[in-house]
Amino acid sequence: MSEAERRKAPDTMDGIRQRLRRLALASRVSLGWERLWPRLWLPLGIILAFLALSWFGLWTHLPWYGRIAGVLAVAAAFLASLWHVARWAPPTHREALVRLDRSFAGGHRPASALEDSLAVGSKDPVSQALWKLHVERQSRQVAALRVSLPHPLMAVRDRRALRAAPLLAAIAGFFVAGPEATQRISAAFDWQGPPGSVPSSRIDAWIDPPGYTRLPPILIDFAKLASPNLSAP
């Protein structure tokens, strides 16, 4: 090896190790999300279920003590679901390297090899030379490593797809509530007054002007009418 190649080798090795550190960090993030996402579905499902019940008008039909009991029950279920999330542990650097090794077909742990050290024979020149050769060969394969996308395997964990039920219910409830979506949510925390403080129905009305006026339909907002009389063309 020439003098120029000797000077160039450390820089190349440092660049490979920097790339490996970036890949290991991305692999830890991907693996962490893969483990965290299944744990987040339970509290997320409870929130969606609360929104669905609110938008379908449950709280508007309950007395004040029923609304208090319902909100406390939802809050207790949500706090209990967070215990499962709190037990989540971030993946280690070694686990991230193992995940990188799986992305390379045909190689022998290229990511983990660069983080390993010589266990025996550290003072033997022959062992050191063989270990150095092994590390150099493995470092050439680092460029082929790829960070796999997260695979939470939700279909395996939830074979009946029950996680979709609160989401679909919340979407349907949102369209049922219409402009009263915010009011129906706030009704859950209205622990005073009559249970029907939030209207559960509305009236949509409009006037179609004659064709010769070339005017668009006039929407009637009963809440903004100053008097019962309404002028129209």
pLDDT, tens digit, 9 for 90 and up, residues 111-134: 666 665 555 545 666 555 655 655
Spatial separation of the C-alpha atoms in residues 20 and 115, rounded to whole Å: 10
Phi, psi of 218 (to 5 degrees): -105, 115
Domain membership flag for residue 233: no
Say if residues 6 and 51 touch (Cβ distance below 8 Å).
no
Report yes or no on 207 lying in a domain.
no
The pLDDT tens digits of the residues spanning 34-46 come to 888 888 888 999 9
Q: Per the domain annotation, does 103 fall within a domain? A: yes
Residue 230, domain member (yes or no): no
pLDDT at 133: 59
The residues with which 220 forms a beta bridge, in sequence order, are: 205
Please check whether residue 201 lies inside any domain of the structure. no
pLDDT of residue 158: 74
Which of the two residues, 44 and 196, has the higher pLDDT score? Answer: 44
Assess if residue 206 is contained within a domain: no
pLDDT of residue 197: 47
CA 98, CA 153: separation in Å to the nearest integer?
19
Query: To 5 degrees, how large is the angle CA 187–CA 163–CA 68?
Result: 25
CA pair distance 113, 119, nearest whole angstrom: 12
**113 lies in which domain range?**
3-189
Confirm whether 210 is domain-assigned: no
**For the chain, how many structural domains are there in total?**
1
Phi-psi region of 192 (alpha: psi -120 to 50; beta: other; left: phi over 0): beta
Q: Is residue 215 part of a domain?
A: no
Query: 135 is written with which tokens?
Result: 């590390």
Pick the closest to residue 182 from 54, 93, 88, 91 (CA basis): 54
pTM of the complete model beyond 0.85: no
Helix runs in the chain, H state only: 3-55, 64-86, 93-102, 110-115, 125-139, 154-157, 164-177, 181-186
User: Which residue has tokens 């000077």?
Assistant: 7
Please give the Cα distance from 152 to 176 (Å, whole number). 33
What local confidence, expressed as pLDDT, does residue 125 receive? 65
